[in-house]
Amino acid sequence: MATTAETPVSAATAATAATAATAATTATTAAGATETAPPTTATTPAATALPRVPIPPRGVDYRGKLVLAPMVRSGELPSRLLALHYGADLVWGPETVDHSLIGATRRVNPRTGMIEYTRQPSHAYSPANSAARNNSNDSNDNDNNEAGAAESVIYRLDPEREKGKLVFQLGTSDAERAVAAARVVAADVAGIDVNAGCPKPFSMLGGMGAALLRAPEKLAGILEALARDITPAFGIGISVKIRLLETPAETEALVRRLVRTGITGLTVHCRTTPMRPRERAVRGQLAMIRRVCHEAGVACLMNGDVESRDHADLLVREFGVDGAMIATAAEKNPSCFRSRADGGLAAWPEVARRYLRFAMEVENRAANTKYLLAQIIPGKALAYRDVQRGRSYSDFAQALECDEEMRAMAREADRVLGLGEFEPKRGPKQKNKQQQKGQQGEQPSGQQQESKKRKRGQDEEEEREGGEGGGEGGEQQAKAKDESAKRPEVAAEPAPVAAPAAIAV
């Protein structure tokens, strides 16, 4: 799929412009224009040559790219690898709040070769950490934790397959913290993107996400600090992801301020802050935003209801933007990054098995793997039911009718992560707690269960912003919910614990 990944989305735009210029020349000649009167379209490029912000030596140019959006849960490493496999040009990781990253430890997992950023968990003796402690082959775990608890992985990346293609999205509301957090990961990523679009209270109450849209000078100050301190030191670019404001005039004023901060790219999610994912994207301001970005030499990407590579090509031609970002469609089937000419959408069994392989290769948390498989597998398929009942990688492999090689991989993943047959037995204290929970009240009625199911589905949709919000701001919250699962897992990823304020964002 390398050819697909390297195909510039904007190439079609250039070809269309050239065709239009030829057509205009022919039409002018047919109308009787003199030989000395050159066609207007032929002189336009020279007369309106636009600047381009220089791309740092290790940075990436967003022009001509189709990219994976930052998403809650769906932006973890195996999802990014799957998107790259099917032709994504770049991938955004899930937003990580600055508090959680400052003070984190970088290590290379000796089993997988993945780079992991870790920190001491808030609950050092939870069942998950007990499993990790008992099953880990990494001697650094105990070296770094005097209490003997396994560290929590807050961010994981692949130094080979994601090299030059991973953009790290940062949640922040303070320039100094933003720089401190960016320094931790800058050497391992191709760019730093500031989240200024999340509408969730989790993010906005901390002054992050969409709250920054109402504080343009603060947002500009964060971007300027990153461009001043991170770009020269690490050779990567800085970008920002925003939402629309209520009026074109407000949006234009914001964008004009942001493109003067030294950023190399700006992504606009074509919804306002109050809009929910189920509401269709609004593209009426997109041409104006693209024009302002281009006048400053900044690349402009669009996000919002982009369905596939072929659909992105059409939108790029229509609005003249430099590229597009896919979220919800990629969560359901990442082969949407593949054009029809290269095969189009793959069948869900192929996608699900390939995702499972990536998840096992990188030791992804089983709860996250289960969640993503549930997005990929159709709800009416038998495998969907079996995956939902599964508690281990062996269960997932059986549900997907994997071959013997993958079943052996699944058993080894279970051994390392303490799942299934390798799950540590609960102690008497834990059993008593379980019994007490079971004795509290009667089981809810069928009507109550159905109501809870609907509420849970609505909550999940809001958390990931339908994918099209980039799922920004809710990642720490979603990870905390994943950790509530009753089975042990190695990579427990709680909400930030370095500073109490981080938990409120």
For residues 340 and 117, give the distance between their C-alpha atoms in angstroms, rounded to a whole number: 38
- pLDDT score for 24: 36
* Residues belonging to the active site: 198
For residues 269 and 469, give the distance between their C-alpha atoms in angstroms, rounded to a whole number: 7
Q: 3-state SS of 328-375?
A: HHHHHCHHHHCCHHHCCCCCHHHHHHHHHHHHHHCCCCHHHHHHHHHH
Longest dimension (CA), the chain: 95
Closest CA to 144 of 153, 346, 158: 153
For residues 70 and 193, give the distance between their C-alpha atoms in angstroms, rounded to a whole number: 10
Q: Is 252 exposed, middle or buried (0-12, 13-18, 19+ CB in 10 A)?
A: middle
- pLDDT score for 200: 84
Q: What DSSP designation does 186 have?
A: G
Low-confidence ranges of the chain (pLDDT < 70): 1-48, 122-150, 427-505
For residues 407 and 336, give the distance between their C-alpha atoms in angstroms, rounded to a whole number: 27
- Domains along the chain? 1-13+49-346+467-505 (3.20.20.70)
